[in-house]
Structure 1
Amino acid sequence: MRADCRRILPLLLLLPCLAHAQNASTFTALDGYGTLAAGGVIATVAGDANRNATAQLEWREQGAAGWRPGHPLVRVDATHFLGSLFWLDAGHAYDVRVTLADPDGAGATPTRTASVATRAEAPVFVPARTLYVAPTGSDAHTGTTPAQALKTIQHAADLSRPGDLVSVAAGVYRESVDVPLAGNASQPIVFRGAPGAILDGADAAIAAGASWTNAGSGVWSRATGFATALVVSDQGRLFPYTSIAALRTLSSGAPGGFYFDGTTLSVKFSDGSAPAQRHLDVARLAAGFVVDGLHHVRIEDFEIRHYGSDEYGKGIYLRYASDAIVAGNTIHENAATGVWVKGGDRNLIERNVIFDSSIFGWPWEATHDSSAQNSAIAFTDDIGRGNVIRRNTIHDTYDGLHPCGDSAPAAGFSNETDVYENTIYRHNDDAIEAEGYCANVRIWGNRIRDSLMAFAVAPAGTGPVWIVRNIAWNLGNTHSALVDGYTSSGIKINSGYSTPVGPLLLYHNSFVTTVADTAAIVFLDPGVTTSLVSRNNLYDGVHYALRKINTIALGLDYDDLHAASAPLVRWYSTDYADLVALRAGTGQELHGISAAPLLAAPASGDFMPLGASPLVDHGVLLPGIDDGYADAAPDIGAVERVDLIFADGYD
């Protein structure tokens, strides 16, 4: 017995040392990644079994003397801390310095440095050669002069090489363009439409007014000779029913519906009209442009419409493409999505107008269960790194945009995806659906209105997702909320999936609604969640500012919670009439306020706080987020008040 004790005692004495070794942290790597206007910082550590280490970020433009504090890095798993830099200049280089701190020890080299280089904006393209396409052209021509214009965009694509511009004249081109060759960084291949250049995936004969057979009960039918999953009339998109019996009911409402049985297409209009009285576009092609496995291809200034021979119809398909640019296009009424990005790195989607029709007025559940559950922009699969979605106008699709893939990028750990300065409105579901694998996804400066959910993260795995300085106006002003009875919210975290939502960082957003019985933000069950930090946000609702049902860990402070009628907050089953009661009951918002925000003209899009607004100077400094505040302290909400100083010095 004594011999056994002698053997066991040294092991017992070693246990505190072993535990300390497991809990001590070691810095193993620091990496930086730049996009166009932001940067990601990825710190890899070992040890820290009790996860009590922290990682402080500093940064500077290369060549600057001093370091500036940045937002602390956020732990996302056992070995990774992630951080972001905002408001960077394109084509610049920055230094980052991260210091690891741990009460249990941080190794011999707790501080590391790395660089972040942002990409330069695309230069003005000067073509080495121009290939011309026109409806009056011929594919027997050379294409090298307007007089020798080609007839099809596809033939021009087949002839193109790096440095070429494919210039497409006004006209309707009923084709799908499969780009065969990549460009390069200095010589991309550019497809550019003149005003009125239209890619159309609909059947020409039906669009011209083909004959239909009266099948009775308001139903008209025609054998197509091709498959279709999309029918659009001059009154808008028709609902896709799954049987003739369902079509006859027109339960989803105006303007009507269709059913395709594999051979015969049947349509019915809610106003009782016949196809001869309507214009019909019936999709027979799958996609407008397809860029598969290529790089440095640009698609600019086209109208792209009516693609959807199957339910996955898309206007532009970037499949494992990289360094592509989709800019200035008008893309509308395609079966599944306007721009579909599957995999790929550093793609830029900007200044497009993408929309649909009818969907906003259809019942949520029927649309959700149909092929009309579409998005304007969708990322899928192992989406790569450095993709940017900016300055687009998106409206009337079921969801607005989906900036996360389904799994980690093929190379690297984080996505480094930026979504900024988009205008997004009239969506029966989610305006921005950041769901799937979302690691260092940054969403800032977007304007959202009239949608069921502003941001859906149900679930957004790994994280963090940064939601910064966005405006969401009149959430709940949708068929799905007002007619179907679904709950609207600024943030949607309920998913029903076992995948946890990663860290969410909400800074300087304005969630304002005037819709009856609507809260600014509701944390709904079910779903596995981690944490949400909220600072300097405006939550202005009608019936509650905030409702919490989900068990997500919240860190709320320095926000303005305001509701048109009491109570202010519902926390599980408890109502808190005011901020004093909320603090006493939950410990939240110890520095927050509860007051009418006094904004300039939110209904007209002006969310600037008035001079007397309680939002002014009531926020907290967030290094790397709001360093450039105007007066004594940052303002609460998405817009920092700036007093206009006239030439005489008086405001």
Structure 2
Amino acid sequence: MKSTTIIFNYPFLMGMIFLMLLNSCEPSIMMSEKKVAFATSGQNYYVSNSGNDANSGVITDPLKTISHALALAQAGDSVIVREGIYFEKINFPRSGEANAYITLTSFLGENALISGNGLPSSGHDALVRLTSVNWIRIHGMEIAHFSTSDGGKMLDGILVEGTSSNIEVTNNHVHHIHNNASPSIGREAHAIHFKGNGNTVMSNLLIANNKIHDNRTGTSENLTINGFVDQFSIINNEIYDAENIAICIAGGYGANGTPSVDYARNGLVSQNKIWNINGKTGQVPVLLQAAGTIGIYIDGARNITVERNKIWDSDRGIGLVSENNGFPTEYCIVRNNLIYNNRAEGIYMGGYANYTTGGTRSSLILNNTLFHNAGELGYYGEYVGEIRINTNCHYNEIHNNILVSRPDRGTFIRKNDATGSFNGIDYNQYYTAGSVSRWYWNGTAYSTLASWKGGSGADTNGFIANPLFSNLGAYPPDFSLQSGSPSINVGTNNHGLGAGTVDFLGQTRYVATIDIGAFEYQ
């Protein structure tokens, strides 16, 4: 079906209008560098390894433990932790107030480590826990070395649960949160975990500028938003050297006991850098034995914008997927992302065959640059492609993307089966330096662009041409466009603000007619 058929779909338009309104009030995406102190209006409580909990907590008379300092802190107060290792599990006992956060931060220029090394764990446990508290800020802390080998446990570095709202988790370093239980009995862990399991919504969350790596998460993820959560931003984080999904925005997993609200919604995932996410090192491939974990995974969530992220040297890039019946991934935008050198699909949409019926609906895949993904065959030995459209995809549009396939693969788009309807594909640019080109529509292979257009009814304005990237030999490669690139001024402007106001680099998105790919030539 040609892309114009989707334009008049009423629910799709309503979702897109909502997203445009949401994006018009996005927060600033550039946060302060690590170790920048916050201005505070209240009391500062200092903590030091050489302190004593009987002390006053002033800088010359510090406390011994973070837990005791938090027990004293009121709205507007800060707990400032000096250089050292603190072997304790932290709970925030009370909330701050509007514009009067309770802040936990390291001392300017020093590194404070909350370590779980040697600490016991039970059930769903965390080194730092926030339960139904509001106006809390965690900034510039190192949180690491919490592990178990016992089955049935879930370990988190930072856990925010219940009805907690107005929470900022910024500039932290979270690593080596390990669940080492045998894959045969299951294991779960998270570096940062927001779980909306309260009877009112968890809202207004900022997770920015964190460094997350070397966690052993089993079937769980490194950074997770799950359940009854509304209005959040995940910005400029680095996630790497992990065994499963880097960022997961989820719904339908029973995080909240009320199914009608059990999904995350209205979120921004922007400017994150994700690399070396290798599912073959973790629990999932024990069952599947293929490159299948995903960098950014939108699974049963709604109204999520995924933009200007960079994902490379991993399994899959970005997924708009649903694993649960009744929880389709809906009204999402994936735009201006750079996805390259991954082992499986660059972008994956839909449900899993013979598994669930959730699927992906009314979403946009716009102006992404995909380069040399799909380096391995899929679970069934199939060519997987730069973009995969799997089961139950309805009313989605895939426009203005650059898809450059590996010379030894040559596969661009794979629509795996005949499920789904009204999916618009057009204005995409294709290129491979190899001698083979492949597209799949409803499982049928096409080896020329003309046969692909005829068989799919798609890509009336699609074309094959070398995009002329600026410098693929640089480290990292430079995927911006040379002045003579055929990608310039040939996209469709029909999506307006849906395509974003800036490109991957933050430059003005529309110079004239929008360029194809993640970079607008200036």
The structural deviation recorded for 1:329 is: 0.4
Q: How does 1:472-621 map to 2 (within 5 A)?
A: 472-476=339-343, 487-495=344-352, 496-513=355-372, 516=375, 520-523=385-388, 525=390, 527-542=391-406, 543=409, 544-551=411-418, 552-553=420-421, 554-565=423-434, 566-602=436-472, 604-621=476-493
Matched, 1:623 2:482: no
**2:194 is matched with which residue: 325, 341, 356?**
341
| Distance in 2 of aligned mates of 1:582 and 1:446 | 29
Secondary structure, aligned partner of 1:314? strand
The structural deviation recorded for 1:502 is: 2.4
Aligned to 2:125: 286
| Distance in 1 of aligned mates of 2:375 and 2:30 | 46
Q: CA separation of 1:467/1:119 partners in 2, compared to 1, >3 Å: closer, same or farther?
A: closer
- Higher relative contact order by CA 8 Å / sep ≥ 6: 1 or 2? 2
8 Å CA contact retained: 1:168, 1:192: yes
The structural deviation recorded for 1:426 is: 1.2
| Distance in 2 of aligned mates of 1:605 and 1:307 | 36
| Distance in 1 of aligned mates of 2:487 and 2:55 | 65
Q: CA separation of 1:139/1:640 partners in 2, compared to 1, >3 Å: closer, same or farther?
A: same
Aligned to 1:354: 212
**1:139 is matched with which residue: 53, 66, 81?**
53
The structural deviation recorded for 1:90 is: 5.6
The structural deviation recorded for 1:579 is: 1.6
Aligned to 1:331: 174
Supply the AA of the counterpart residue of 2:492.
Answer: V
| Distance in 2 of aligned mates of 1:128 and 1:507 | 46
The structural deviation recorded for 1:146 is: 1.9
8 Å CA contact retained: 1:174, 1:201: yes
The structural deviation recorded for 1:350 is: 0.4
The structural deviation recorded for 1:89 is: 5.4
RMSD: 3.2
Aligned to 2:268: 418
Deviation sequence 1:40-80 (CA, Å, 0-9, x none): xxxxxxxxxxx997559xxxxxxxxxxxxxx94348xxxxx
8 Å CA contact retained: 2:190, 2:220: yes
Aligned to 1:392: 237
Aligned to 1:448: 311
Aligned to 2:182: none
The structural deviation recorded for 1:606 is: 1.9
The structural deviation recorded for 1:184 is: 0.8
| Distance in 1 of aligned mates of 2:425 and 2:209 | 35
Supply the AA of the counterpart residue of 2:312.
Answer: R
8 Å CA contact retained: 1:520, 1:540: no
Q: CA separation of 1:550/1:84 partners in 2, compared to 1, >3 Å: closer, same or farther?
A: farther
Secondary structure, aligned partner of 2:69? helix
When normalised by structure 1's length, the TM-score is 0.63
Deviation sequence 1:429-482 (CA, Å, 0-9, x none): 11011102x121111111111121112232162511111111101111xxxxxx
| Distance in 1 of aligned mates of 2:210 and 2:364 | 28
The structural deviation recorded for 1:503 is: 2.2
Aligned to 1:197: 112
Aligned to 2:289: none
Q: CA separation of 1:201/1:537 partners in 2, compared to 1, >3 Å: closer, same or farther?
A: same
| Distance in 2 of aligned mates of 1:389 and 1:583 | 37
List alignment gaps of at least 5 residues for structure 2.
Answer: 1-5, 179-188, 197-201, 279-292, 377-382, 502-507
8 Å CA contact retained: 2:31, 2:209: no
The structural deviation recorded for 1:121 is: 9.4
Secondary structure, aligned partner of 2:239? strand
8 Å CA contact retained: 2:250, 2:264: no
Deviation sequence 1:537-593 (CA, Å, 0-9, x none): 111112211222133333110111223332231334533222222122222100111
List alignment gaps of at least 5 residues for structure 1.
Answer: 1-50, 57-70, 76-80, 92-117, 205-225, 230-284, 360-370, 477-486, 643-651
| Distance in 2 of aligned mates of 1:599 and 1:73 | 36
Q: CA separation of 1:120/1:306 partners in 2, compared to 1, >3 Å: closer, same or farther?
A: closer
Secondary structure, aligned partner of 2:452? helix
8 Å CA contact retained: 2:227, 2:264: no
The structural deviation recorded for 1:425 is: 1.1
8 Å CA contact retained: 1:316, 1:340: yes
| Distance in 2 of aligned mates of 1:574 and 1:293 | 52
8 Å CA contact retained: 2:191, 2:223: yes
Supply the AA of the counterpart residue of 1:560.
Answer: Q
8 Å CA contact retained: 1:494, 1:523: no
The structural deviation recorded for 1:306 is: 1.7
Supply the AA of the counterpart residue of 1:633.
Answer: T
Q: How does 1:45-124 map to 2 (within 5 A)?
A: 72-74=13-15, 82-85=18-21, 88=24
Percent of paired sites with the same residue: 22
Aligned to 1:295: 134
Supply the AA of the counterpart residue of 1:511.
Answer: L
8 Å CA contact retained: 2:270, 2:307: yes
> 512-521 or 194-203: which moved more?
512-521
Deviation sequence 1:381-439 (CA, Å, 0-9, x none): 22x21111111111122110112333789889982111111111111211011102x12
8 Å CA contact retained: 2:55, 2:63: yes
Secondary structure, aligned partner of 1:451? coil
Q: How does 1:180-195 map to 2 (within 5 A)?
A: 180-194=93-107, 195=110
The structural deviation recorded for 1:594 is: 1.2
**1:633 is matched with which residue: 509, 513, 516?**
513
> 612-621 or 174-183: which moved more?
612-621
Q: CA separation of 1:414/1:393 partners in 2, compared to 1, >3 Å: closer, same or farther?
A: closer
Q: CA separation of 1:121/1:350 partners in 2, compared to 1, >3 Å: closer, same or farther?
A: closer
> 309-318 or 412-421: which moved more?
412-421
Q: CA separation of 1:294/1:516 partners in 2, compared to 1, >3 Å: closer, same or farther?
A: closer
| Distance in 2 of aligned mates of 1:461 and 1:419 | 19
Supply the AA of the counterpart residue of 2:332.
Answer: V
Supply the AA of the counterpart residue of 1:422.
Answer: N
Q: CA separation of 1:303/1:538 partners in 2, compared to 1, >3 Å: closer, same or farther?
A: same
The structural deviation recorded for 1:488 is: 3.5
8 Å CA contact retained: 2:357, 2:392: yes
> 404-413 or 182-191: which moved more?
404-413
Supply the AA of the counterpart residue of 2:227.
Answer: D
The structural deviation recorded for 1:530 is: 2.2
* Runs of 4+ that moved beyond 6 A: 118-123, 407-414
Aligned to 1:27: none
| Distance in 2 of aligned mates of 1:561 and 1:314 | 42
Matched, 1:314 2:174: no
Supply the AA of the counterpart residue of 1:379.
Answer: I
